[in-house]
Amino acid sequence: MECSEKRLSATVFGEKKHFQNLSKDEAVNLKFSDITYRVKEKNKTKTILNGINGEFRAGELACIIGTSGCGKTTLLNMLAGYRIQTSLGQILVNEKIRDSKAFGLISRYVLQEDTISPYFTILETMMFASNFKLDANYTKDQREKVVFEIMDMLRLREKANTLVANVSGGERKRLCIALELIDNPSVILLDEPITGLDESSALQCIKALNQLAKGGRTVICSLHCPSARLLQMFHKVYAMSRGECIYQGPRNHIVPYLEQLNLQCPLTHNPTDFIIEVSINVYGDFQNEMVQQIKNGKILNWHPGVSQLQQNDDMAVCSSSNPNKREIRVSWWLEFQLIFIRFMKQMWRDKTNFKLRMLSYIMCSLGVGLTYSKISDNAVYSVFSFYLSFTMIAMIFFMAMTPMLALIPREIHFIRREYFNHWYRISSYFVALLTSQLPLLCGMSIISSIMVYLLTGQPMQFWRFCMFAAMVILISLVSLSFGILVGSCFNILHSLFLGSMSFGVMAIAAHQSTHGKNLSTLHEVTLYSSFMRYALEGVLVPLLDLNRPDFPCPPSEWMCPASKAKYILMMFGSLNISYTRSVVVLSSLTVIFCLMAFLIIKYRLNFKKASSECKRQTYRES
Ligand SMILES: Nc1ncnc2c1ncn2[C@@H]1O[C@H](COP(=O)(O)OP(=O)(O)OP(=O)(O)O)[C@@H](O)[C@H]1O
């Protein structure tokens, strides 16, 4: 609350101080020592970070430089606590061992890949984020002021009403940064924030980060090779090569540092270009000498004459061991509402997808209805009622499941950044995702039921139709949740393959008609292990059971057993069907699939890889 008042007075009612002052007790110094990260690759262990050390202090704009593949992203991921466990080595926050959860609340990480929903404008995206990131007592005007201030700083105001789908790569990158600045974090980590930007946009972006650092934040970004002009903005350079630290200190000390190794930086060269050239052995292999000279990062701030390890105390930044935590500010219910509205808008704006889904429901229902349009007119065709039920289930299953197989893997990709940066709880997101699918799903299931029921001339009994439509909705729900479950486990390609495959397997299991009534225990177990079986029974009850009127016999037929619905049920070994059982099983499966999907998504979002060495240690200990 105190924090929010400070922000209000600083930004909304006063001059633009939002990014100038960070309260002293929120200054965060980040130190790491002996960080090693190894991965297993084809029975070999690959070392990505090799016992590196270093420090990033509040009030500094620091850049991690190095060639592609030297380990910059891995180091940033580790410092941010993103997808990698700090298994070997230590990370200290204000001289105390980092508590990942508490650190997550005061730090924000701008990832290399800029995954933002393309269906919203820049302003809408910013306002959406501000709902979670600013205190609930902010008015819309106050939110807008904060949002516009950040947009001004990152030169995004002119593009406020442009859809993210239409903005340039650089603007999207700046938007990613802007989103994470809204809640004024103490630590900002950015992975390649200027890749793909032209020199002037990059300069603008780095200027903004420089301002943030001057306001007391710890700003760390990884860069490939900043130009001399950009380099002027940085207070500290941390150079890496092959997973080790080769330099750490002010930008203007790079040249004397290399001179100690008899490496003369040509006058025309940018020092960072030069140190990178040295790291890739253009002038011979100096890797070990450089690592030794900087003690793999234990020398925290190199300057001429320094060869001993020293404390970095030349920065007048007050640090506290307990930076203020920023808890999630918005209630679960409000989070749910905001995400639900975003999903609905997204669905509406993705018009092609929306129209295709509606059209495919209508066309398929029309196709099914017309194919089986004669089954109620003549007992000769009555046997096709069974196939009608099956076709209907197949149609509903695919219509409800397939969009989820494409949506969920894409969504996991989108929400990874938002969830990691503490925008919202995963439970509110998941419930919003689920419920936002219901209006279209239930609406189209009802329309399909009406079309198929009428076109196939089923008995005009309202209660019978309601049972049929209710079962179709239930089958849609279980298929939707099954789609979410499969989508939460695999990528789009694998999900689509497995989703279709599973239908084949379940359909075979659900459909053992040649065995009639005399099913062995094994057959019965296989039959009822498929949720398709319960769906089939649930549809057969309103279509063929509950004293369905007889099918009309053609005058030419003197014996016409197929006019009796019970006869058809008997033929397919389905005399023992129960609507209630189908409802109970399908509802339970819907809940189970949803719960499993929720737990899997949560696990995937929280999953952190440990160093392979640490895994072996843990294994040995256990
Ligand atoms: N899980 C993994 N399995 C195998 N190799 C990995 C794994 N994670 C990272 N690497 C390798 O570790 C090295 C460092 O990766 P990292 O992404 O940190 O590099 P980087 O310096 O950020 O590169 P760039 O500038 O191109 O983004 C790369 O060679 C990468 O292929």
Res 566 pLDDT > 90:
no
Atom of ligand 1 nearest to the CA of 48: 12
Res 517 pLDDT > 80:
no
Map tokens 């929903």 to a residue. 117
Q: How far apart are CA 341 and CA 439, in angstroms?
A: 13
* Amino acid symbol at 34: D
Q: Whose CA is nearest to atom 30 of ligand 1?
A: 69
Looking only at the bridges linking them, the beta strands covering 88-93 and 244-249 are unpaired
Contact 479, 401 (CB under 8 A): yes
- What is the Å distance from ligand 1's center to 73 Cα? 7
Q: Whose CA is nearest to atom 13 of ligand 1?
A: 69
> 321 versus 546: which is more confidently predicted?
546
- What is the Å distance from ligand 1's center to 614 Cα? 19
Sign of CA dihedral 266, 270, 272, 278: negative
pLDDT band at 13 (very low <50, low <70, confident <90, very high): very low
Res 543 pLDDT > 80:
yes
Nearest to 246 by CA among 309, 315, 294: 294
In the chain, what percentage of residues exceed pLDDT 90? 45
Q: Which of 210-224, 570-584, 587-601, 607-621 has the highest mean predicted lDDT (pLDDT)? A: 587-601
**Segment 114-160, tens digit of pLDDT:** 788 899 999 999 999 999 888 888 888 999 999 998 898 888 899 99
Q: Whose CA is nearest to atom 2 of ligand 1?
A: 39
Structure letter (DSSP) for residue 282:
B
Reported as half-sphere exposure (CB side, CA atoms, 13 A), residue 204 has a value of 18
pLDDT band at 369 (very low <50, low <70, confident <90, very high): very high
Ligand 1 test: best mutation among 38, 73, 113, most atoms within 8 Å of CB? Answer: 73
Q: In what order do the strands lie in the sheet with 44-56?
A: 44-56, 30-41, 88-93, 96-97
> Distances from the Cα of 230 to the Cαs of 204, 254, 509, in angstroms?
10, 15, 65
pLDDT of residue 490: 92
Res 614 pLDDT > 70:
no
Q: How far apart are CA 89 and CA 35, in angstroms?
A: 4
The pTM of the whole model exceeds 0.90: no
Phi, psi of 259 (to 5 degrees): -60, -35
Phi, psi of 160 (to 5 degrees): -50, -40
Residue 35, H or E segment: strand 30-41
Nearest to 64 by CA among 51, 79, 50: 79
Phi, psi of 327 (to 5 degrees): -80, 165
pLDDT band at 466 (very low <50, low <70, confident <90, very high): very high
CATH no. for 24-297: 3.40.50.300
- Could you tell me the residue ranges of all domains in the chain? 24-297, 332-606
pLDDT of residue 56: 94
Res 621 pLDDT > 70:
no
**Segment 286-309, tens digit of pLDDT:** 899 999 989 998 988 887 766 555
pLDDT of residue 326: 53
Please, what is the average pLDDT of the chain?
84
Tell me the average pLDDT across 533-556: 87
Task: Classify residue 470 as exposed, middle or buried by CB count within 10 Å of its CB (0-12, 13-18, 19+).
Answer: middle
Res 44 pLDDT > 60:
yes
List of residues 6+ apart from 436 with CB closer than 8 A: 340, 343, 344, 347
Res 521 pLDDT > 90:
no
**Segment 250-285, tens digit of pLDDT:** 988 999 999 888 888 887 888 888 898 888 888 888
- What is the Å distance from ligand 1's center to 29 Cα? 26
Query: Which tokens go with 572?
Result: 């397919």
- What is the Å distance from ligand 1's center to 48 Cα? 7
Phi, psi of 30 (to 5 degrees): -115, 120
Ligand 1 is surrounded, with C-beta below 6 A, by 39, 41, 46, 48, 66, 68-74, 224
Q: Whose CA is nearest to atom 24 of ligand 1?
A: 68
Structure letter (DSSP) for residue 573:
T
